[in-house]
Structure 1
Amino acid sequence: MSVRADDRRMSVLAVYQAAFPEPAALADPLEDGQYRLADFRSDPAVCERAMAEELLREPDLDPMGRGAYLVNRLAHELGGSLAALDLAGGDISGVSPRVTAYRSTLAHGAVDGEAYAYLETRVFLGPCAERDLPAHAAGEAIERVFEPLVDGVARACGLSRGALWRLVADNVANAYLLLGKEAGELHRATGRAEAVIRRPGSRLDFRQLAFLTIEIDASESPLGLPLRETFRERAGCCRYYTTARSEGAYCGTCVLRKDRRDFLRKTMIRHAADAEENGGA
């Protein structure tokens, strides 16, 4: 391998390593505020407490909304960690819900002058060996980690297991996509995601979940240059549309949105127009 190629690989690994979870040996009993994923199946009170935390950021969520928000958030955070470990050549087959935990902290931010609350999520995982793992084994490992969470939350909130697995799949796929974009190896990352998700017997494989690339001709672009972007189309719904602040609107890539491809196309053009107004891309 050349020095340049070696430097390039180190740069790619740095992207993935930045998304690694914090390795930690969990105490028994757990520290205050920590939740172990294995306990979601065995202890209904854990599910109720964890779901209630979602009201801190979205006070009018119904039980189904609290369950969907919780699984969606944890799948985003934990899915990102597992995808990063997998892309970096880590062996995630030994990761167990018994050694997987998280803690939430209420935080506040603002977008365009509008304040909002969110839950910062700190993920704890057991250590992983450095060994390339076949895609089917990585997919099975990801499912094992999330299985107690999905089972417990489905029982507690009334949503089906299938609806919650869709949220897990959406976030795992998006984690591979975003990490691949940042690392400059989009094709490899999305190819790995497809292999992890679309395997016989997979609980992550849904027809509606797909990677979509939209291209816009230079003649339609506010920048006068061709635009190209890859998105993840969702298979599931996080139930954001049921909240008061959504005013009934769906997320941009929600499976319930019939115009999502047109919406994404218009969003690309709007972002390009904003970039042009602010002095170019």
Structure 2
Amino acid sequence: MCDAVYHVPVMLQECVEALHIQPEGTYVDVTFGGGGHSREILKHLGPKGRLFAFDQDPDALNNAIDDDRFVLIHQNFGYLKNSLRLHGVQQVDGILADLGVSSHQFDDAGRGFSTRFDADLDMRMDQVSDLDAGKVINTYSEGELHRIFGMYGEVQNAKSLAKTIVTARLTKTIRTIAELKDVIKGQVPKGKEHKYHAQVFQALRIEVNRELEVLQDFLIQTVPLLKVHGRLVVMSYHSLEDRLVKNFMAKGKFKGEVEKDFYGNEIKPFKVISRKAITAGSKELEENTRSRSARLRIAEKKGTA
């Protein structure tokens, strides 16, 4: 499948330049998707360079690149370190993560990611997990639903939304996107239907795929995996992800102050290359609407003192 059809890579050149690629180095693209970023990375690698890519979505396997320097691992990037060790890789020169949902997943009506189509409430990125959006909607307690809509979707009326869903499912199981929209229509602010539905769906998707927990697991694993001066390049699409990435790059942790050693020296694994998040240029913003919310951050692994 053509990458341009499957997924248009956001800030392609900016991502690849940020990796500061060494031709004989070893690199990882943890969100392979349509392979757009991976193909560009391979153009910068020499004959001894290597690229490992990860994707848990079985659809992405159809986009595998026929190149001796390339390996596609069908796995969630939360298992980054162990999966690379199985391939004999202890450390790498750069890691790229393009977080969020691919264009293909949004455009595939049956996956249940998009509010544009009617389909079963699913939203699983891997298609094998027991937990899908339907199970969240129909089995989570009112308190749990309130938490995920408020925390992950930043929905203003998360409490009343949760109560509405729990009350409606007493009468009938909510199975499809259309049924969910119908149940919650009284909670949706007039004129803001699209934004509201997007927030609700984002919350469900993050919960179903454990996106924030997986992101934190991944970021922690990058520290021992990266060689000194190796680059970590992460592109996120909403504030919850971006905050985690920003804090980890700046402090080596997700909250609180930077830890210090006995002598008062700050202990942090990265030197931040991008003080401010990098955003797409005006031309890309016009051509690819998905790039509007993208925030790119870059950090470099520090050497030991």
- TM-score between both structures, scaled by the size of structure 1: 0.28
- TM-score between both structures, scaled by the size of structure 2: 0.26
